[in-house]
Amino acid sequence: MKLRYAFVVFSLLFLTGCFHARVTTGLEPSVKVIDKPFASSWIYGLVPPSTVKAEAECENGVARVETELSLVNQLVGFLTGGIYTPMHIKVTCAAGE
């Protein structure tokens, strides 16, 4: 019985998929990246993280925006009962002309 319980817990923690979304604009990406590994969202993401102010750092616009819930982000969300659910946001600036 304990072995079955351990298997279920292992499956729920380590075999869950990680959420990953990527939006590309078609512009050529540069090496400049704005990276926020623990952007705070609340109540399973119902209250989203604050907006990344990319226009101040990306003079030529944005080439790509990626959001993901890594295993560590999901573990933190699980440990807080879903109240605090961080997400990883990565913005890649566009290259110049």
How far is Cα of residue 94 from the mean position of the Cα atoms in its chain? 20
51 within a domain of the structure (yes/no): yes
3 within a domain of the structure (yes/no): no
DSSP state of 4: H
7 within a domain of the structure (yes/no): no
76 within a domain of the structure (yes/no): yes
Print the domain residue range for 62: 18-94
Cα gap 39→44, rounded to integer Å: 13
Cα gap 26→90, rounded to integer Å: 16
Q: How many domains does the chain have?
A: 1
3-state secondary structure of 32: strand
The two tokens of residue 49 are 């993280």
The Cα angle at residue 95 between residues 91 and 97, in degrees rounded to 5: 155
Q: Write out pLDDT tens, residues 31-87.
A: 889 989 888 888 887 888 888 888 888 888 888 999 888 888 888 888 888 889 898
28 within a domain of the structure (yes/no): yes
If one counts every other C-beta atom within 10 angstroms of the C-beta of residue 70, the result is: 16
* This prediction's pTM: 0.72
61 within a domain of the structure (yes/no): yes
64 within a domain of the structure (yes/no): yes
Tokens 């616009």 map to which residue? 61
13 within a domain of the structure (yes/no): no
Confidence of residue 16 (pLDDT cuts 50, 70, 90): low
